[in-house]
A and B are shown apart, each in its own frame.
Chain A
């Protein structure tokens, strides 16, 4: 691009003026400016028209402008909220409620979509014919059906046919699934529980320290360290030890059937379940495809060369295949994660109160200030997408060492 620009400029500067290029509008440099000026005039006229129309229309329909509405109270309730909320709370707070619900379902979706995607993506290369076929069927089925249809299917064709609370499906005495959703035991802290939380943080730090130490030792002495096993040991062992020492400072609050419904425990509403399933399964299919493409992008010769210098299969995976395929997979993951966040808006079809449904939907209906509210909503999606991009770029840099 740069190169082309400079040659163009040089041409413009050195062209002999006698070749009929006298008219200044034939000079590519000026010509570019003329085009751009025309574009600018067009855009100015366009936006001027839009803005004046909008102001007229808003005045005619009595729509207010500005962000004062954020401080007024909402007057309706939401199905689910991660923070305390009632009908007297403000629009600013319902914005936050919606935002948190969007983040929640995005995180759940990204987590399970990644797991599904990698499992089915790797399954494509299985020696087992059945596993391979299942991987293909999964990808080809779920990526070719609109995600909104999948949400509706899970919501009204599957979860809506679940039994009532009295006849719940149950696992043991503590997990129940019925038409009102999934009921799980809730973890309640007792005194001393902070020690356990601290031990988890310590374990994570310890793993990083250990990794650093093991790398250094290997560089110095050549000795290898069973890092994976040791890390797992620490990650589980240390919190377990803390649990035992503090005498298990937790208890569960179990869901109990009282009359027609359950009390206690945590309830995961069917809207959240179906949305999470649909988003994970749909995006998982695309991620599986990306993983497949990433693996196929590493030539067979790479594995053969690695074998010929005596590397073990596990090491070939971690040292040769993964870093190379990640260079293909990471950018695709990035865009799939972004799509997932955008697709979480299909919640509107079933009424899960994420940002779009609750703010650009219900709240906008009441307030009517479409421009401000749409602007706020879209800003969130742009910020979330930017955040994903940043994180994925960091990840890309740390995993897939770039080369030329």
Chain B
């Protein structure tokens, strides 16, 4: 029996008209009449807007100096940001004590890093308790009275560091609370369920601004006469409740994604309700909810700016104050808002990217 040997034909290069930069341009920019017109219009629009914008932002912008008088060129006056940068990041926290704010931020970063680096067992034993303690440690450090440092009242805290810290502190406390609400919502105890549902729906249905307003005008009425609760603390309570409502819904969909088999397996090895929930279900729920948890955090982080309406000196509030300062009346609203927008954009965008990445990893996990 004679057999022929199979020699594959050599692969030929694709016709030049279908590969290479020319083909790319034709396919991605000029593939149809509509696309040709669109491309031309877009290029034209970009060409007429971009050079001016770049010039204003960078080339003829004023970078150095300390007073408004330094802004002589007709581009952006970044000197404005520079002159106010300390307040923008730290509020009116005393200059000599800034290390305390930095220390708190550093601790936050360290604990986040720890929870990624540590092996799973240590993570639960070390990172989680540290996380839960962090808001209170930070309070003590920032306030200073308890540990014999200079006392700094909360109305001096402010700027971007306040945005970060209050968002993080709310997240940390909201975590256990929201889990409880989510459990309540899916429990089969009718009263507990309706209480959870009411809490969740109330805080989700109310505009955050209204909640802040209530925190500033209504909450004081709820405390016994003579007791005054610090404004920042009230705001913190509000943010925790607000965030818990959203996170509870995140956890709820996380619970729904856990296969029934997991519960049955946990039951079958004889675990009790809390053992089952904390050892088997909770870790899985947190894992699959991670992208949505991040998204909720981004939302709350963006919402910290709303604090300006009740005169909490967070970053935007400080920029607005600076804009009305009598030494800076030359109209720097664009610079101020662009800068704040840029800072928030960097933070939120990178967190959204991270959420997307985690989602992709989880997706591939699921596949095998």
* Minimal Cβ-Cβ distance residue in B for A377: B210
Contact of A148 among B222, B308, B348 (CB under 8 A): B308
A145→B345 contact, CB < 8 A: yes
Q: Of B206, B218, B223, B309, which contacts A370 at CB under 8 A?
A: B218
Across the interface, which residues of B come within 8 angstroms of A371, CB to CB?
Answer: 218, 221
Contacting pair A39 B191 (CB below 8 A) = yes
A1 touches B341 (CB 8 A): no
Q: How far, in angstroms, from A134 to B91 measured CA to CA in the complex?
A: 36
- A225 shortest CB reach to chain B, Å: 27
Contact string against B for A residues 204-234, beta-carbon threshold 8 Å, 1 for contact and 0 otherwise: 0000000000000000000000000000000
User: Contacts A128-B29, A129-B29: A146 and B209 contacting too (C-beta < 8 A)?
Assistant: no
**Chain A interfacial residues counted at CB < 8 A:** 61
Q: How far is the CB of A195 from chain B (nearest CB, A)?
A: 40
B316 touches A356 (CB 8 A): no
Q: Kindly identify, within residues 17 to 48 of chain B, every residue whose CB is under 8 Å from any CB belonging to chain A.
A: 27-29, 31-32, 35, 38-39, 42-43
In the complex, which residue of chain A has the Cβ closest to the Cβ of B220?
A57
A-B Cβ contacts below 8 A, count = 159
Q: Which of A9-66 contact B (CB under 8 A)?
A: 32-33, 35-36, 39-40, 43, 50, 53-54, 56-58, 60
How many residues of chain B are within 8 Å of chain A by beta carbon? 56
Q: Which residues of chain B have C-beta atoms less than 8 A from A58's C-beta?
A: 221
Provide the bound-state CA to CA distance between A272 and B259, in Å: 49
In the bound assembly, the distance between CA atoms of A5 and B186 in angstroms comes to 11
Residues of A within 8 A of B331 (CB): 161
A146 touches B303 (CB 8 A): yes
Q: Is the CB of A57 within 8 A of B28?
A: no
0/1 string, B111-135, CB within 8 A of A gives 1 = 0000000000000000000000000
Q: Which of the candidate stretches A75-83, A171-179, A186-194, A342-350 sits at the interface with the other chain?
A: A342-350
Question: Interface on chain A toward B: helix, strand, loop, or mixed SS?
Answer: helix
Answer yes or no: B54 CB below 8 A from chain A CBs.
no
What residues on B are CB-neighbors of A141 within 8 Å?
345
B191 and A57: CB pair below 8 A?
Answer: no
* Cross-chain contact B29 with A149 (CB below 8 angstroms): no
Whether the Cβ atoms of B31 and A128 lie closer than 8 Å is yes
Verify A131–B42 contact, CB threshold 8 A: yes
Least CB distance from A181 to B in Å reads 18
Tell me, yes or no, whether B321 is within 8 Å of chain A by CB: no
**A160 CA to B186 CA, complexed, in Å:** 51
B188 touches A378 (CB 8 A): no
Partner of A8, one of B188, B222, B349: B188
* A152, CB-defined interface residue at 8 Å: yes
| Interfacial chain B residues near A126, Cβ < 8 Å | 35
Would you mind naming 5 contact pairs between A and B with Cβ atoms under 8 Å apart? A56-B224, A143-B352, A144-B352, A146-B306, A152-B320
Known contacts A140-B352, A377-B210; 13 additional CB pairs below 8 A are A53-B222, A56-B224, A58-B221, A128-B39, A144-B348, A144-B352, A146-B316, A146-B344, A149-B316, A342-B208, A346-B209, A356-B207, A378-B210
Interface on A for B, CB 8 Å cutoff?
A: 1, 4-5, 8, 32-33, 35-36, 39-40, 43, 50, 53-54, 56-58, 60, 126-131, 134, 140-141, 143-150, 152-153, 156-158, 160-161, 338, 342-343, 345-346, 348-349, 356, 360-361, 364, 370-371, 374, 377-378, 381-382, 385
